[in-house]
Amino acid sequence: MNDLMDKIVALCKRRGFIFPGSEIYGGLSNSWDYGPLGVELKNNIKQAWWKRFVNLREDIVGIDAALIMNPKVWEASGHVANFQDPLVECKKCHERFRADSIKEEVCPNCGARDSTTPERMFNLMFKTFIGPAEETSNIAYFRPETAQAMFADFRSVLDTSRLRLPFGIAQIGKAFRNEITPGNFIFRTREFEQMEIEYFIPPPKQDADWQGVFEVWRKEMLSWIKDDLGVNLDKIHEHEIGTEERAHYSKRTIDFEYDFPFGRSELYGLAYRTDFDLKNHERYSGQNLKYKDPETGEEFIPHVIEPTWGVDRSVLVVLLDTYNEQEGRVILKLKPSLSPYKVAVFPLLANKPELIKEARKVYLDLKKDFMVAWDDRGNIGKRYASQDEIGTPFCVTVDFQSLEDEMVTVRDRDSAKQDRVKINELKEYLTKRI
């Protein structure tokens, strides 16, 4: 890892954003747990996404499906046959690698030359068994993408809603992949979260029909990065995936890549999945998955455009992009709507009961509407620094003057500017700025 990644990992551990998973047992390689601040940041990202793409739209509805689906789903989707990476093993150190990670026939672990076994294909789906008997007939899989539930539930959503094409089904949830080479903190893990939309359209009469929808989603994804994550688009690059590299279901894929400290890598993806999934599910399930046009009575299998977002990669990009150091101090310039705490409340001095009493009143009142931190340790400068490091956009100090004039000092994280604000106008003041 490099310098910035090391700093982010250290900050996350120090302040309770993200810890190594199962740490008291020596950890579990590449597993990470979100701590009290991390879960707030992650939830804020998921909530912003759900609000933007589900709540504020008329044409997209959400679902929350089971993680373990009927194994036939994965036969129909092509994952049993195709969701695999080429694997090689070093005969000397017995480490296993994705074949494409071996450069010039040198083992990346022990440096041995020409030591790798021939490639064999390795399916990335996590297997489990349903019921007490571990027999082949009981094999099931943890879903490797949330997407298939949108196809498997397509009929039920259609029958229970008044949706008309074009429309989308959205979901946020965990996905599991037995990655051969996980790494780079939360960038590639074996258990992660996705936010996905399957956006169904009528079968295109010409390429321009699906291309137009694809273009709309391309812009939506860029706007999400800029406006909702507050991430600089300078570091985002669109990568057109070639035919050879595309997933088995896709006719066109764009990856949105970010300049991570460890190199330019995929953040999100956008794919035209055609009617591949619904067609196969109709064939494998024997159920009618056609859409009936209410005007013409014509029946057909819709096609689908799929924008997909990794939640954990969103968290990582937000942390990397907002990390700043000023005079040796860390400031996380998070968009206020994403910050774990929106505001911190401090009594100027911790040993003055009248100040504590007034500050607690302000704190408890703000808590009804915002995530609020309380800090009465050390001097005010240290408390500001501590809140800057976790991205809290505003700090409120209750001082002796407050007891007389019912006003407090509000300090802005990014400008360090201080305003004197009436206590009964604090909520409005903060709401406006968050």
Q: What residues line the site for ligand GAP (CB under 6 A)?
A: 145, 147, 177, 179, 188-189, 192, 194, 196, 266-269, 306, 308, 310, 312-313
Q: How far is the CB of 30 from ligand GAP (least distance, A)?
A: 9
**How near is the Cβ of 183 to ligand GAP at its closest, in Å?**
10
**DSSP string across 259-280:** EETTEEEEEEEEEEEETHHHHH
**Nearest distance, CB of residue 269 and ligand GAP, angstroms:** 4
| Beta pairing class for 299-300 and 372-374 | unpaired
Nearest distance, CB of residue 414 and ligand GAP, angstroms: 28
Q: Which two tokens stand for residue 46?
A: 């998921």
Distance, in Å, from the CA atom of 124 to the CA atom of 165, rounded to the nearest integer, reads 34
CB of 297 to ligand GAP, least distance (A): 32
Annotated binding site for substrate: 98, 145, 192-196, 306-310
CB nearer to ligand GAP: give 257 or 375.
257
**Token reading at 377:** 């340790």
Give the position of tokens 């990335």.
124
Which residue number, 174 or 377, has a Cβ lying nearer to ligand GAP? 174
| Residues placed in the known binding site | 98, 145, 177-179, 187-196, 266-267, 306-313
Nearest CB to ligand GAP, comparing residues 254 and 348? 254
Name the amino acid, one letter, at 190: R
- The enclosing H or E element of 292 equals strand 291-292
Identify which of residues 31 and 43 has a Cβ nearer to ligand GAP in the complex. 31
If the CB atoms of residues 167 and 187 are measured against ligand GAP, the closer one turns out to be 187
Cis peptide before 166 (omega within 30 of 0): yes
DSSP codes of every residue in 74-114: HHHTTHHHH-EEEEEEBTTT--EEEGGG-BTTB-TTT--BS
Q: Can you tell me the distance from the alpha carbon of 102 to that of 125, in angstroms, rounded to the nearest whole number?
A: 23
Q: Please list the residues that pair with 199 across neighbouring strands.
A: 168, 305
Distance in Å, CB of 158 to ligand GAP, minimum: 20
Which residue's CB comes closest to ligand GAP? Answer: 310
CB closer to ligand GAP out of 38 and 269:
269
Q: State the Cα–Cα distance between residues 351 and 353, nearest whole angstrom.
A: 6
Question: Which of 186, 410 has the CB closer to ligand GAP?
Answer: 186
Concatenated DSSP letters of 376-429:
-SS-HHHHHHHHHHTT--EEEEE-HHHHHHSEEEEEETTT--EEEEEGGGHHHH
Query: 234 is written with which tokens?
Result: 């300078």
Q: Are 318 and 229 in contact (CB under 8 A)?
A: yes
Q: How far is the CB of 86 from ligand GAP (least distance, A)?
A: 16
